[in-house]
Every structure is written in structure tokens, then in C-alpha cells.
Amino acid sequence: MNGYQITFFTQQDHRHKGKPMGDWLIHLARELGLRGATLMAAGEGFGHHGRIHSAHFFELTDQPVEVVMALSLEETDRVFERLKAEGVHLFYVKIAVEFGTLGAPD
């Protein structure tokens, strides 16, 4: 199948509707009936302001987080329409990809 890999970049302390943004995106993917989404925590990174964000032993709120989804064109449109309607401010990367499943299900 052809579609897009969408990667959203945020931080552990960024919230939407009371939830950490990464968690909210995972729940959104499930609510929209998408085939999956993966949340990954990073050790360190920096954004457009040039400030270093990192996971510290005692404090994880500044930890960089990314959420990755492989979506069809129609799914991509639904996700972005919803994000726009929600007024979400979020950096993302959108890459055209081919994706599918190999082998028999478990």
C-alpha cells in the first residue's frame, strides 16, 4: 500500500486536553481506527529555538518524544483534519512510503 509515514515531534511535558501530547496522539490514532502508532522517547534533542531538551534522571518532563504512524492518503487527511480542528500546534515530518504486512498473523 502507498501512503505516508508521519512522525510527530513533541516533549513529555507538552499537553493537549490534559494529556501528554504523545499519549493524546496514540489515543487519537486508536479513536480514528488507524492500524497503529508508536510512541518513542528520546534521550536528547533540540528544536527550532535551539534549546537542548533531554531526559534527566530525576526529571522527565523535558524529554523529547516522537509518535510515528504509517497511513494511507485517506487516513492522513483524517488525522490532519482532526489536528487542525483541535488547534494542535505540533512539528511533524511527512514522508511518502510503501508499507504492508509480511507473513501470517500470530
Q: Is CATH 3.40.109.10 the right assignment for the domain spanning 2-98?
A: no
Domain ranges (residues) in the chain: 2-98
* 8-62 tens-digit pLDDT: 999 888 899 999 999 999 999 999 999 999 999 876 666 666 655 555 545 555 6
From the DSSP assignment, how many helices (H) and strands (E) are in the chain? Answer: 2, 8
84's grid cell: 487542525
d(CA 60, CA 63): 5
- pTM score above 0.85: no
